[in-house]
A and B are shown apart, each in its own frame.
Chain A
Amino acid sequence: MSELVKIIGTGFIGGMLALTVRKQRPEFAVMIALITSALILGSVAESVGGIIEELRRVTEECGVDIKYFEIIIKVVGVAYLAQFAAEILRDSGENAVASKVEAAGKICILTLVLPVMTSFLELCIKVVNSV
């Protein structure tokens, strides 16, 4: 709970400072927004790490193949980063570049998920043939 209060305080401070600088020097406002979101994301990422370790232990215990869990975690990481970059670019007014970054993130996720999909399709084909 105290972590959340710190994050909210940081967000407000960053927002106010960015607002004060935006009129004269808009590029510094984007810089302040970028450093603020990077600090908040960094502190949240630490706690997400703990959650992931806990989930990994649970999936290992209940016998699910750990390979799929690793892919899920990678996809979450890629989405995390792509969304971070796209929001900052959209904030600085570069909507075209932001959508390109998001498209690149989706393609990265697709390449990560492809082997799972193919193995699943092969499984379906085998089941259908064995009937």
Chain B
Amino acid sequence: MNVDLIFQIAGVGIVVAVINQLLTRAGRDEQALLITIAGLVAVLFILTEQIGTLFESIKRIFNL
């Protein structure tokens, strides 16, 4: 039940949103898109590991 994962993902989301705004204001839209994709990939790494452990524990408990 480690809540800091939620804060990590929220932090990445907020940072990406802010950088996106900055880059679009500065006129560099492609970099903004790249930053968004990079943030998404980072979050997906955290997420897939957590979802994997969840599915393993459910498979163990319900012996599916």
- Whether A and B are associated in the same complex: the answer reads yes
Whether B31 is near chain A, meaning CB under 8 Å from some CB there, is no
- The answer to whether A25 and B36 have CB atoms under 8 Å apart is yes
**Chain A residues with a Cβ closer than 8 Å to the other chain, count:** 38
Q: B5, B50, B58 — which one has the most chain A CB atoms within 10 A of its CB?
A: B58
Whether B40 is near chain A, meaning CB under 8 Å from some CB there, is yes
Consensus secondary structure, chain B interface: helix
- Chain A contacts with B in 41-90, Cβ cutoff 8 A: 41-43, 45-46, 48-49, 52, 70, 73-74, 76-78, 80-81
Which residue numbers of B lie inside 8 Å of A, CB to CB? 1-3, 5-7, 9-10, 12-14, 16-17, 20-21, 36, 39-40, 43-44, 46-47, 50-51, 53-55, 57-64
Closest 8 CB pairs of A and B: A77-B62, A28-B13, A24-B17, A17-B10, A49-B61, A21-B13, A43-B1, A42-B54
